[in-house]
Amino acid sequence: MFARRTDWSLRPNRLAQELDARRRHKLPVTDLTESNPTRCGFEYSEDAIRQALADRGCLLYEPDPRGHVAGRRAVAAYYAALGATVDPEQIILTSSTSEAYSYLLRLLADPGDSVLVPQPSYPLLDVLAQLNDAELVPYPLLYDDGGSWQPDQEALSARLGSRTRAIIVVHPNNPTGSYVGHGDLRFLIECCRRHQLALIADEVFLDYPVEASRGHAGTHAGTSEVLTFTLSGLSKICALPQMKVAWIVVSGPDEAQREALARLEMIADSYLSVGTPQSLALPAFLDSRHPIQSQIRQRLTANLQALDKQLVGQPLVTRLRVEGGWYVVLRLPEMVEDEEWALTLLREDGVLLHPGHFYNFASGDCLVASLLPEPAAFLSGIERVINRVAWISTLRSSHTVP
Ligand SMILES: Cc1ncc(COP(=O)(O)O)c(C=O)c1O
């Protein structure tokens, strides 16, 4: 009765089962995966948010497939502040970045066509590709001694094929936090140009640099050499995921840009998914992004510093550099697989982290934590991680026969 594309195994994984059991037994959970900003104790300007949604214009329905022009102008102003010239006509509003991905997969890929994606990266891409009958072909990101992640250019080139339609970059990536470097961008543009591919740049975390020291590319929204789709939205830029507004900026050579916009307009017209109140509120939301962004940046830095203090003086848990974004990757001893670490920490200590394999890390020794949780919870969770790892290492080494 059902389509094969929805033939998922819907059985909760072991971590979800353990979490469910804890919650049923009313046992406390310190959630180090929390990345819903509306639950992390930030101060939102409540009056401004309510006022922004009270525009009388929302009593009128004037559908525009690209989204209300007032909203698109505000998005263009956001890019102007980043130094990119974007015309509101180059913008399509969507209800989420995930929806934007779906539009693009619909636009670019026939069933069986493929799109290159970084690995490790954001797991929702797998489901979005499946729902849109596209194949994802991963290209590895490699972590170097200097503490930065780079696309493996050789592997990426080898994976380009006759059915490849686009290359996705996540800038900065979730969860590695890595931005696309200038050199990498040149390489990617060259690949796209040579193989007639589109470049899709997911920039939802662009405004959250943390330890970004090496020079990296800015927004892709001004890219003109190849057909480029730049995605972002309110869920991270303004920490307002509940408002359900995101966008696609289309840039590139004139003709390809025009054709892409006309086709996207047709797709968007079939759904008209962005509500008028949110579209009209977009200028006010974007104008007021700085106070919430600065609270979030302070939180990211404070939690990272607290983590570093805990890591000093013990050799077992380390972390990778966080160029940007909301996450940190922890490295634990390989004596236990990432999933086992996550299960043990939840069962024994009530601390929830994501195992790296959720994000397709090549090695099995990574756990991913969000840097958004409130500082006291973050610190106590991290302390328990470090103590548990020390305890298990001691146990294991005392049972090792020399
Ligand atoms: C890299 C990345 N892209 C897109 C999204 C989805 O954003 P939206 O809430 O706009 O669908 C997320 C959500 O966490 C994300 O991490």
101 CA distance to ligand 1 middle (Å) = 10
67 CA distance to ligand 1 middle (Å) = 20
Total-model pTM: 0.97
Question: Running DSSP on this structure, what letter comes out for residue 5?
Answer: G
CATH fold of 11-43+290-394: Aspartate Aminotransferase, domain 1 (3.90.1150)
Cα 116 to chain centroid, rounded: 16
Using pLDDT thresholds of 50, 70 and 90, give the confidence band for residue 400: low
Residue 402 has pLDDT above 70, yes or no: no
Q: Which residues line ligand 1 (CB under 6 A)?
A: 96-98, 122, 170, 174, 202, 204, 233, 235, 241, 246
Atom of ligand 1 nearest to the CA of 121: 1
* 29: helix, strand or coil: coil
Q: Is 186 left (phi over 0), alpha (psi -120 to 50) or beta?
A: alpha
> What does the pLDDT average to over 305-318?
96
- How far is the C-alpha of 217 from the C-alpha of 182, rounded, in Å? 5
Contact 189, 143 (CB under 8 A): no
Residue with tokens 């990266």: 121
| Amino acid 221: pLDDT | 97
Our mutation pick for probing the ligand 1 site, out of 97, 121, 358, 372, counting the most ligand atoms within 8 A of Cβ, is 97
Q: Is 241 left (phi over 0), alpha (psi -120 to 50) or beta?
A: alpha
> What does the pLDDT average to over 360-377?
96
What residues have CB less than 8 Å from 391, skipping those under 6 apart? none
Domain boundary assignment for the chain: 11-43+290-394, 52-287
- How far is the C-alpha of 97 from the C-alpha of 153, rounded, in Å? 27
97 CA distance to ligand 1 middle (Å) = 6
- How far is the C-alpha of 194 from the C-alpha of 116, rounded, in Å? 15
Residue 26 has pLDDT above 90, yes or no: yes
98 CA distance to ligand 1 middle (Å) = 6
Q: In what order do the strands lie in the sheet with 327-331?
A: 318-319, 327-331, 366-370, 354-355
Characterize 310-331 residue by residue with b for buried, 16 or more Cβ atoms within 10 angstroms of its Cβ, and e for exposed. bbeeeebbebbbbbbbbbbbbb
Amino acid found at 64: D
| Amino acid 387: pLDDT | 97
Q: Looking at ligand 1, which residue's alpha carbon is closest to its atom 7? A: 97
| Amino acid 292: pLDDT | 98
Q: Which CATH class is domain 52-287?
A: alpha beta
Atom of ligand 1 nearest to the CA of 232: 10
Atom of ligand 1 nearest to the CA of 173: 1
Q: Which of 84 and 396 is assigned the larger pLDDT? A: 84
Using pLDDT thresholds of 50, 70 and 90, give the confidence band for residue 216: confident
232 CA distance to ligand 1 middle (Å) = 8
> What does the pLDDT average to over 297-310?
98
CA distances from 352 to 18, 28, 175 (A): 10, 10, 16
> What does the pLDDT average to over 153-182?
97
| Amino acid 212: pLDDT | 75
Residue % of the chain over a pLDDT of 70: 99
Contact 341, 331 (CB under 8 A): no
Contact 195, 160 (CB under 8 A): yes
395 CA distance to ligand 1 middle (Å) = 40
| Amino acid 313: pLDDT | 87
- How far is the C-alpha of 299 from the C-alpha of 373, rounded, in Å? 8
> What does the pLDDT average to over 242-251?
98
